Amino acid sequence: MLTSWLQRAKRMILSKPNQAYISWCRDALSCLAVLFLLGCWLVDLDSTQPIYLSTSFVTNGFCLSPRFNNTHLACAEFDFVCGLFCMLAVMMGKARAMGAAAYFFAHGFGHYSLAVEEDMEERDINLQDTLVLAAILSIGPLSITSQLVDAKKMNRQTANVLASLMLSILVGVYTIYIRRPSYALLYINISIMISQSFPKTFLIGFKSKDDIEYRASRLYWLKMFAEVLVLAVILCEPFFCDQFVAKIGGHFVFDLSLALDVLVDLTNSRAVGAEKVKIK
């Protein structure tokens, strides 16, 4: 009986339609999570003291860790190394790694700026800040439009126009209304989650043959683990920084989880192209 149950469970796990449905549910969960995070942030912005988010996170804008002399510097060094690996992937013919490289370099430069400048809150946002922010935020629009092209939901020309429009809106909202460096991380995470989760949830389903082929892949469960890990870290950092996140590495944990997700995504894109997904 136990063997029969395990066999049924295995068939369910390996079933491509089931994998597509689980993938869609993860995207829908991301939509709910980002709305919850945004709501808590807005409530805390109107309060004299944080109600939902960790006090140190709201004060610093990041979850700084006592494990490092300078968390920003540690993150900058790690991001620059990841950017170099992505550039190496580009040189080896992996053109899609260029976007990830730009993100890591920009993200690393942002951390480096915070590491060496003590009075970030005292100065106004300048052109350099805007360009760095645009490079970081671009991973959201570029990623989702590339996915929509792969899923056969739009052509490349339409995707480029949509990505440019989304990026312009995201950068404009920050430079016009937000402006405070301490709000940058949360704004970046929320913006990237919104720009990726909502279009993917509402435009890529889980029933048609093309949608199943897109959502199911050879490294499906590894990709699922990486995506869920990033989502969990994004949620835990602002809410539980003072409780335990700072003790295990703070924002550096986010950089690690993102690097894993990018690595799996780059590896997986080659695997999907190498073989046709069979629908069971």
- Average pLDDT score over residue span 270-276: 44
Find the CATH number of the domain harbouring 35: 1.20.1070
| Residue 209 contacts residue 279 (beta carbons within 8 Å) | yes
Residue 2 forms part of a structural domain:
no
* Cα gap 28→199, rounded to integer Å: 10
What is the model's pLDDT at position 192?
87
Residue 181 forms part of a structural domain:
yes
Q: Which of 66, 36, 121 is nearest to 245 (CA)?
A: 66
- Average pLDDT score over residue span 25-48: 90
Phi, psi of 212 (to 5 degrees): -65, -40
- The residue to which tokens 């995070």 are assigned: 37
Instruction: Write the DSSP symbol of residue 178.
Output: I
Instruction: For CA atoms 241, 246, 249, 255, give the dihedral sign.
Output: positive
Per-residue confidence at 1, pLDDT binned at 50, 70, 90?
Answer: low
- pLDDT for 280 beyond 70: no
Other beta carbons less than 10 A from residue 240's beta carbon: 15
- The residue to which tokens 């309060």 are assigned: 47
Per-residue confidence at 12, pLDDT binned at 50, 70, 90?
Answer: low
Residue 134 forms part of a structural domain:
yes
- How many domains are there within the chain? 1
- Average pLDDT score over residue span 250-255: 94
Per-residue confidence at 279, pLDDT binned at 50, 70, 90?
Answer: very low
12 or 156, greater pLDDT: 156
Per-residue confidence at 159, pLDDT binned at 50, 70, 90?
Answer: very high
272 or 257, greater pLDDT: 257
What is the model's pLDDT at position 7?
64
* Cα gap 168→25, rounded to integer Å: 29
Phi, psi of 243 (to 5 degrees): -75, -50
- pLDDT for 150 beyond 90: no
- pLDDT for 104 beyond 60: yes
45 or 223, greater pLDDT: 223
- Average pLDDT score over residue span 130-143: 86
Length reported for the chain: 280
Residue 3 forms part of a structural domain:
no
Report the mean per-residue pLDDT for the chain: 85
Amino acid of residue 40 = C
* Cα gap 42→194, rounded to integer Å: 16
Instruction: Write the DSSP symbol of residue 277.
Output: P
- Average pLDDT score over residue span 66-70: 93
Residue 279 forms part of a structural domain:
no
Residue 189 forms part of a structural domain:
yes
Residue 9 forms part of a structural domain:
no
- The residue to which tokens 């312009």 are assigned: 168
Instruction: For CA atoms 266, 130, 39, 65, give the dihedral sign.
Output: positive
Percentage of residues of the chain with pLDDT beyond 70 = 88
225 or 273, greater pLDDT: 225
What is the model's pLDDT at position 4?
65
What is the model's pLDDT at position 276?
43
Per-residue confidence at 121, pLDDT binned at 50, 70, 90?
Answer: low
Amino acid of residue 16 = K
Ramachandran quadrant class, 278 (left: phi over 0; alpha: psi -120 to 50; beta: rest) = beta
Q: C-alpha angle 135/126/68, rounded to 5°?
A: 65
Cα–Cα distances in angstroms (integers) from residue 196 to residues 1, 81, 204, in the given order = 43, 25, 11
* Cα gap 32→197, rounded to integer Å: 9
Among 4-8, 75-79, 131-135, the range scoring the smallest mean pLDDT is: 4-8
Residue 12 forms part of a structural domain:
no
What's the chain's Rg over C-alpha atoms?
20
Phi, psi of 218 (to 5 degrees): -65, -35
What is the model's pLDDT at position 155?
92
The overall pTM is greater than 0.85: no
Q: Which domain holds residue 265?
A: 18-57+69-274
- pLDDT for 38 beyond 60: yes
* Cα gap 86→92, rounded to integer Å: 10
- Average pLDDT score over residue span 142-149: 88
- Average pLDDT score over residue span 248-257: 94
Phi, psi of 83 (to 5 degrees): -65, -40
* Cα gap 26→224, rounded to integer Å: 8
Instruction: Write the DSSP symbol of residue 62.
Output: S
- pLDDT for 166 beyond 80: yes
